Amino acid sequence: MRKPFLHALLALCLALTLLPTRPAQAQYNGAYYTVQEGDTLSEIAWYFHTTLNELLALNPMADPDALAPGKVLLIPGYEDETGEIIRAEMPISESARTLARANGMRPELFNRLNSLTSPEALISGSLVFYIQPEDLALTRLNLVNDLTPLDLATRAAENAWLAALANDLPSPGLLLQNDVLFLPGDPADPARAPLTALLPQLTDVRLNPGVLAQGKTTVITADASPQTTLTGELLGYPLHFFPNQGGAGYTALQGIPRLEEPGVKTLTLTAAAPDGRAFTLRRQALLIEKYYGIDTPLQVADNVIDPAITEPEFAFLMQLVAPADPEKLWNARFSPPSTTPEFITSWYGRLRSYNNSDYTYFHSGMDYGGGESSPILAPAPGIVVYTGLLDVRGNTTVISHGWGVYTGYWHQSRIDVQVGDRVETGQTIGYMGATGRVTGPHLHFDLIVGSVEVDPEDWLNGMYAYVGQ
């Protein structure tokens, strides 16, 4: 009597196991993440502060090690949220507040997703996560100087209370200048034209590379509305923005001093409309240390390391290279300034000791070996802005290539160009020599960007060949 019953029960259990089941994804409406190239399940669990077991329980898979890019994973802990979780580098143009508002996220949700205890912890280039909802259309509004809640209501027909509430502000009194709001509605909608006309737009600001580095050149690009004037400051140096040659956006180039202390630095950008209304953006970027090596100690004449001589000469040089000519003269990689480019006797950035001093000096350029018959070649098109004899640099030529980029040629035996001459790539501008602070004949090749001596090797390798195009 018991066997038929057991057989029936087993048959029923088997049938139930063969019934189609709904995948976990179909039963879960929370936020999801799309696997990127190189992701592992352990890394994804770490990103979102969950465990590997919890992640697999929500996303059962036959082989967890075979995680293909493009696979969609549901994320534990975000059951009440909808949309895709995006992983990105923190843009310099955004803050924790603006990224949350742009994606309709509550501040506490954004902070939890990124484990933030302070909004200032997110700096340019750091890893950031946000939930991107589907079909969310928002108009970005930069609150310019002197724009009051009353102006917002009268000039743009925008309810100041609704604008505040849409951006997690309890009252219009907290609508402050230099803040960024996101208001419902497509900015391309003609009904939004009175609102967007209120302000100079400043969007999509980027650093290339995403962090600052000692001795390197930083490229800052920005999109701005037509007839907007862009200005800025980084590390105390004024930023000079020029329209890109393709007609879209603006670019500024700035060198980072070789001995600048590493750490978090502030970038300030201001977009001003023709009528004087302005919006100022202040963001943080990380400056990292670079190791360039150490030169052997050098013995030179005492007078050429005397601050009474070196400091006025350096100040003269910096005054000379302060202007940023709006005409960009190069559209290709810079060529080596020597006919024997492999004959390099010292590289940029190496720490130096003169006459048994501490290693408080650094080499500001690249040294090319040669004799007094070795020609010096122009590395790119430019205009000669200085020729003359200096105590430390000897016979000197300085060439402007536009946009605040200059090249300098120290210790020459002969100079073959004059101020005002236009030179072309490969043209002989003089000859190597042993004038000034030297231990033998050679060419010291300097590259100056935004009044800062930077690593010429990046320019010779073509990193800035097509910048601004």
Check if the beta carbon of residue 93 is closer than 8 Å to that of residue 206: yes
For 86-100, 377-391, 451-465, which range has the lowest pLDDT when averaged over its residues? 86-100
Same fold, 203-288 and 302-460: no
Render 153-202 in DSSP notation, one character per residue. Answer: HHHH---HHHHHHHTT-SSGGG--TT-EEEEES-TTSGGGHHHHTTS--E
With cut-offs at 50, 70 and 90, classify the pLDDT of residue 12.
very low
With cut-offs at 50, 70 and 90, classify the pLDDT of residue 166.
confident
Report the pLDDT value the prediction gives residue 86, as an integer from 0 to 100. Answer: 94
1 has a pLDDT exceeding 50: no
Question: Which sequence spans correspond to the domains of the chain?
Answer: 23-132, 138-196, 203-288, 302-460
**Top-confidence residue, 149 or 222:** 222
**Which CATH number describes the domain made up of 302-460?**
2.70.70.10
Share of the chain above pLDDT 90, in %: 56
Helix (H, G, I), strand (E, B) or coil at 301: coil
Long-range contacts of the stretch 354-358 (C-beta < 8 A, 24+): 354/297, 354/298, 354/299, 354/300, 354/305, 355/298, 355/299, 355/300, 355/302, 355/305, 356/297, 357/305
15 has a pLDDT exceeding 60: no
Q: How many CA atoms lie within 13 A of 397 on its CB side?
A: 30
**Top-confidence residue, 84 or 1:** 84
Hey, what CATH class is 203-288 in?
Answer: mainly beta
Query: Which CATH superfamily groups domain 23-132?
Result: LysM domain (3.10.350.10)
Q: List pLDDT tens digits, range 331-361.
A: 999 999 999 999 999 999 999 999 989 998 9
Q: 326: which 2 tokens?
A: 């709006």
